[in-house]
């Protein structure tokens, strides 16, 4: 918990608890449980209306603004809502008790205000092969034993941001599946300290700077995110924690719904972090003496335009949400995928403009140790000073924050994650194609053009 590389990630999750205790954020950060009627953290909520979906996006923007990092509870919240409606429909078809299992777990997670890691992404191995056809069957997580009291699973989940800070892990399949893949069509929850679970932490850019004790050099010294490869080495799952077990025809449904919810999320969290980056860029321009330059003003306008466009998409897909058969609300999937498709592009341009405004000092600045050095410090102060009234240290601090957001460890939670989080760009394009309803649009055009066909 006190490891300097891991601690900022824990602080980001802590912020989701702290903000929920503040009266000014109560409306966004808390909700009334549809299961118990009690006040709960919104990160454990099952959406009951389009208004709930909108508040979710606004909450995520707030958390991004406060941490400038990934705050790690979104995946669990999105998994909750996807599993809730899917288990209801599985039970309708097969007479299973998955929905009741999940509701019991949900009430437990709400009462304890647990952080739950949503785990979908398998390592996948050879992407051209189905799960059952892989040379190594463990490259997709699967059931290896079915017992009277539960199942045993083996495999791994990759890119698990926040798993090291989570109480529980909610596992889902990662792709649509056929009958031959039924052992891979599995969903469940287990505590993250269960026997057989191993978390192998990933490396990040500039991560060892956190070991040096310099608040300035890491850019964002308090908050961050941490990923891990999570290995499930023959992990036992009791029957009452199982939400899917071989019903392969619902694997794609669960994936599609989770992906939609999580692509909606990016219209909030990335926008909040973008707000911080825009603010840092504006401050850097002022510290450089370029704040009044027309081209700098225009770049800040463009950054704002792109950021707010992402927010528009997040709000739009929420406002167009509708109830599922289970009663919880699902976003408009087409608009959610449009939202995430824009997120794969716009943050890269926002980051490029931030680097443009900041200047080369962002990546060539000396360390805080040099700034404080008895001999060299005076030279750093002298030659890296900007406008009068702003200390050299403050100028370097804002440069380090921009570096952190665009190139450093926070790039995992902003720039690079914007590309691959919640699915790569092609994944959204596939979903956009499926839901674009070209047949209806062609019919509209032909009616307007007075076209009559045999």
Q: Tens of pLDDT along 291-330?
A: 999 999 999 999 999 999 999 999 999 999 999 999 999 9
The residues annotated as belonging to the active site are 70, 74, 161, 227, 262, 266, 269, 417
What is residue 437's predicted lDDT score, i.e. its pLDDT? Answer: 96
What's the start-to-end Cα distance of the chain, in Å? 71
- pLDDT, tens digit (0-9, with 9 covering 90-100), for 322-366: 999 999 999 999 999 999 999 999 999 999 999 999 999 999 999
Sign of the C-alpha dihedral computed for residues 92, 94, 95 and 98 taken in this order: negative
Token pair 């993250």 in the structure block, residue: 192
What is residue 190's predicted lDDT score, i.e. its pLDDT? Answer: 98
For residue 199, list its beta bridge partners: 230
What is residue 410's predicted lDDT score, i.e. its pLDDT? Answer: 78
Token pair 């998955």 in the structure block, residue: 98
The set of residues, in sequence order, having a beta carbon less than 8 Å from that of 433 and lying 6+ positions away, is none
107-122 core/surface letters (b: 16 or more CB in 10 A; e: else) = bebbeeebbbbbbbbb
Q: 190, 198, 217, 218: which is closest to 11 by C-alpha?
A: 218
According to the annotation, is 309 in a ligand binding site?
Answer: no
Which residue ranges in the chain fall short of pLDDT 50?
A: none
Provide the pairing of β-strand 168-171 with 116-119: parallel
199-237 core/surface letters (b: 16 or more CB in 10 A; e: else) = bebeebebbebbeeebebbbbbbebbbbbbbbbbeebbb
Please report the domains of the chain, with CATH numbers, ordered by start residue: 255-437 (1.20.140.10)
Are the C-beta atoms of residues 255 and 176 closer than 8 Å to each other?
yes
């Amino acid at each position: 918990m006190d490891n300097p590389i891991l601690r900022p990630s824990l602080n980001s999750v802590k912020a989701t608890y702290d903000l929920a205790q503040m009266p000014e954020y109560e409306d966004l950060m808390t909700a009334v449980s549809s299961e118990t009627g009690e006040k709960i953290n919104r990160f454990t909520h099952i959406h009951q209306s389009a208004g709930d979906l909108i508040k979710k996006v606004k909450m995520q923007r707030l958390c991004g603004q406060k941490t400038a990092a990934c705050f790690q509870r979104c995946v669990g919240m999105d998994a909750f809502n996807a599993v809730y409606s899917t288990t209801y429909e599985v039970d309708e078809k097969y007479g299973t008790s998955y929905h009741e299992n999940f509701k019991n777990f949900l009430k437990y997670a709400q009462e304890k205000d647990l952080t739950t890691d949503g785990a979908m992404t398998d390592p996948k191995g050879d992407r051209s092969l189905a799960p059952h056809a892989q040379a190594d069957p463990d490259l997709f997580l699967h059931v290896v034993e079915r017992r009277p009291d539960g199942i045993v699973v083996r495999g791994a989940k990759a890119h698990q941001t926040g798993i090291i800070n989570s109480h529980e892990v909610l596992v889902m399949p990662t792709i649509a599946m056929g009958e031959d893949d039924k052992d891979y069509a599995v969903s469940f929850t287990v505590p993250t300290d269960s026997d057989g679970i191993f978390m192998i932490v990933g490396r990040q850019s500039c991560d060892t700077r956190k070991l040096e004790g310099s608040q300035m050099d890491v850019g964002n010294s308090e908050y961050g995110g941490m990923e891990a490869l999570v290995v499930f080495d023959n992990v036992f799952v009791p029957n009452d924690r199982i939400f899917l077990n071989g019903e392969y025809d619902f694997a794609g449904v669960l994936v599609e719904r989770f992906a939609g919810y999580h692509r909606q999320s990016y219209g909030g969290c990335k926008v909040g972090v973008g707000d911080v980056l825009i603010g840092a860029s504006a401050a850097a321009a002022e510290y450089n003496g370029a704040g009044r330059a027309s081209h700098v003003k225009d770049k800040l306008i463009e950054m704002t335009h792109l950021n707010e466009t992402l927010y528009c998409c997040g709000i739009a897909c929420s406002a167009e949400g509708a109830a599922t058969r289970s009663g919880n609300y699902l976003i408009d999937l087409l608009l959610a995928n449009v939202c995430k498709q824009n997120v794969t592009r716009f943050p890269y341009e926002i980051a490029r403009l931030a680097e443009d405004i900041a200047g080369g000092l962002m990546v060539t600045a000396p360390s805080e140790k040099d700034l404080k050095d008895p001999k060299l410090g005076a030279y750093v102060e002298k030659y890296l000073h900007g406008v009068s009234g702003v200390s050299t240290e403050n100028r370097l601090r804002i440069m380090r924050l921009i570096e952190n957001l665009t190139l450093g460890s926070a790039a995992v939670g902003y720039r690079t994650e914007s590309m691959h989080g919640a699915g790569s760009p092609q994944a959204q394009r596939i979903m956009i194609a499926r839901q674009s309803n070209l047949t209806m649009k062609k019919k509209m055009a032909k009616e307007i053009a007075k076209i009559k066909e045999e």
